[in-house]
Amino acid sequence: MESLKNNTELTEQQREFRDRARSVGCWAGSNASTEVQKQKILEIFYELSGTGDVKEAISRIEKDKSIEGIEFTKRALIFGIEHSSYERELISRLLSAAYDIFEGGEILDGFQLLLYRLPDLILDVPTAPQILAKFISRALYDEILPPGFHKDAIVDNEHAKESLSLSYATTSNPIEKRRLQHVWGPGDLTSVEQLKEAVDALLKEYFENPNPVEAASSVKELNAPSFASQIVKQALRTALEKNTDDSRKNVIDLFNSWRKINLMSNVHFERGFANISGQLEDLKLDVPNAPQMFAQLVSQAIEHKLIPSSFGK
């Protein structure tokens, strides 16, 4: 593709891209400030993966003025590359929603930075150039990258050239272009409602007929590991809404069984408990003693080493 220039013949705009990227800390390498920012950003992504709530993620970004657009974009793209279609669709929507938060060039520079980083990324994810090509195509469709990105982006490695060429082929084909809204295919966010319905169904069945083995089988069939903390949260909510000693015992038994077979980790349990903790005020409207019952569940979960003893402190 003639419009892809190598690093020896940079236009004025390309040199501007390069200089802006190199002026950012994340280009030069990791430092204490960047590491703290990285952890904040990743926490937002993991929370988003569990809830599917883009608006809440945007709210957190808006409140934290320390998050820089180029670092956010870089981390978002890497997170998407390392995960599945479900997370990639969420990341695409998040980037689109975050466009108005950051200065115009920051998301653009974040994409350019990933083109520079492809030689490193393929060591862990060999398909990184193809995945980034889809992110670029979707970003062009969502109009968060300028129409001339394929022409103006700096190409300093073969993987970047491949990524831009693949994206150009997709966005310049009228038939393919119509499919960009669903570039991540059948595993994208369009299935999130079905996932929630499936979780509700399996939990309803479990609390009516407690069988941890069958419940574990149903969770495995969902094939949605990023949804794990959401499943924990919904199980806790169901137990609290039922408001019986049996329901609270059954939910702890369920969590223990999932941990024993490594279906879920302590991180998933902690996030699930933390999520439901933030909803107790709403739960109190229907279940006035929800905070007290939740405190009992926390104590039992700590006793069974499902969550750390420091939880909530």
Q: What is the pTM of this model?
A: 0.66
The rounded distance, in Å, linking the Cα atoms of 176 and 64 is 38
For 182-203, b where at least 16 C-beta lie within 10 A, e where not — what string? ebbeeebbebbeebeebbeebb
pLDDT in tens, 259-287: 999 999 998 999 899 989 888 988 999 99
Average pLDDT over residues 17-42: 63
| Tally of helices (H runs) and strands (E runs) in the chain | 18, 0
Residues 6+ apart with CB under 8 A from 196: 230, 234
Q: Are 163 and 126 in contact (CB under 8 A)?
A: no
The rounded distance, in Å, linking the Cα atoms of 228 and 233 is 9
DSSP-assigned beta bridge partners for residue 6: 155
The rounded distance, in Å, linking the Cα atoms of 238 and 232 is 10
pLDDT in tens, 218-240: 998 887 777 888 899 999 999 99
pLDDT in tens, 35-56: 888 889 998 998 888 777 899 9
> Would you say residue 24 has pLDDT above 50?
no
pLDDT in tens, 72-127: 999 999 999 999 888 898 999 999 999 989 876 899 999 999 999 999 999 999 99
Quote the crossing angle between the two packed helices 245-260 and 192-208, to the nearest 10°: 120
The rounded distance, in Å, linking the Cα atoms of 117 and 119 is 6
